[in-house]
Amino acid sequence: MNTRLLKIDRNTDCGAQLSEAAACLAAGGLVVFPTETVYGVGANAVDPDAVARLRTVKQRVDTKPFTVHIGSRSAVERFVPGLAGLGRRLTERAWPGPLTLVFHVPDIEAAAIVREVSIKRAETMYHNGTVGIRCPDDRVAAEMLVKAQVPVVAASANPGGEAAPVDADECLQALGGYVDLVLDAGRTRYARPSTIVRVDDKGYELLREGVLDDRTIRRLAHVTFLLVCSGNTCRSPMAAGLLRRLLAEKIGCAVNELEARGYTVESAGTGAFPGAPASAAAVRALEGRGIDISTHRSQALTSDLVGRADYILAMTGSHATMVASLGPGAGTQVRTIDEEDIDDPVGGSDEVYRQCADRLERALRNRLKEIAL
């Protein structure tokens, strides 16, 4: 077989060449293409002959799956029905990018792609109730994948056991004569493989460290909530205690497992004196709900706290304004906990504190409905 080489100039319009590569893929050809990590070799996922050729080129047994490659983040919805929680969070924070995600899909027949192509043809993409998906951060790869208009599976453009190629010359040396087309767009940006992470309802597992290290994945996977009031002794510590329990209920774990599941809840005050305990009335208000905030100690609101928070819930509009003044972008992640300000119960009776806790819980339940956990 003669392998064609198409040179791609990233500084010019290469639409015609990418359309040619996409047409080759759709027709059952094997196409080598660049990504930001290494070069890959792709095939039409619903063409059995193309997938069989890919297995031969990769020297891969029938039971080892290939990774689905998509040209846009939103395309993941076709393959993973009801994507939520950690999986959605990682796609939103890391895609497009050098991260391959292996999703748990217990009912593959619920996936839109299965309805489009039939369960039999979709089996090449799913394995034991999982599907691996990659969304490359490379304009050439992304445009080609979109233009193909067929699901594409791919692997690094080398025979099994050999080093993954990072330029077209290495691809030709490894696969010349075995593939139909090679897109030459120069050396890849990272010249390292993607990181592979498996995600499910219980968390994630790092399967292979690549461009992104374990520390980066932990940061991407973690969610931090920050509750803000004035003195950080009444409203915000009550809200933090309530939120921890609501989060645990929603994701199905114990409160003391939240950190391991990737969730942190903090609170702070715009005028707090550090180290003060929660007010006695606030402690009593939550004791009646089985929540212990007696170990709480106040802290002042800082730009560092704001910077590491993903969601900031303020008791009043003035608190939200204060948060927004502490750093660029802070205003986009802060909102009031309720539609109307929640007044400070300080100095009030136990009944006033219980009513405040009731309102905080209602407001938090409503806010959690808006957040994909």
Q: Pick the catalytic residue: 14, 135, 171, 229?
A: 229
Is 49 a known active-site residue? no
**Which of 162, 181, 186 lies closest to 60 in space, CA to CA?**
162
Cα radius of gyration (the chain): 26
Residue 20, SS3 per DSSP:
helix
Note whether 212 and 98 are within 8 A (CB): yes
CA-CA distance, 302 to 324, in Å (whole number)?
11
Rounded Cα–Cα distance for residues 181 and 21 (Å): 7
Catalytic residue selected from 201, 310, 341, 344? 344
DSSP code, position 113: H
**Pure H helices in 222-316:** 235-251, 258-261, 280-287, 303-308
344 labelled catalytic: yes
Instruction: Give me the catalytic one of 235, 244, 261, 359.
Output: 235
Pairing relation of β-strands 130-134 and 99-104?
antiparallel
Instruction: Give CA separation, 307 vs 272, 288, 299, 327, in Å.
Output: 18, 34, 15, 7
The token pair at 369 is 């409905």
**Residues with catalytic roles:** 229, 235, 344
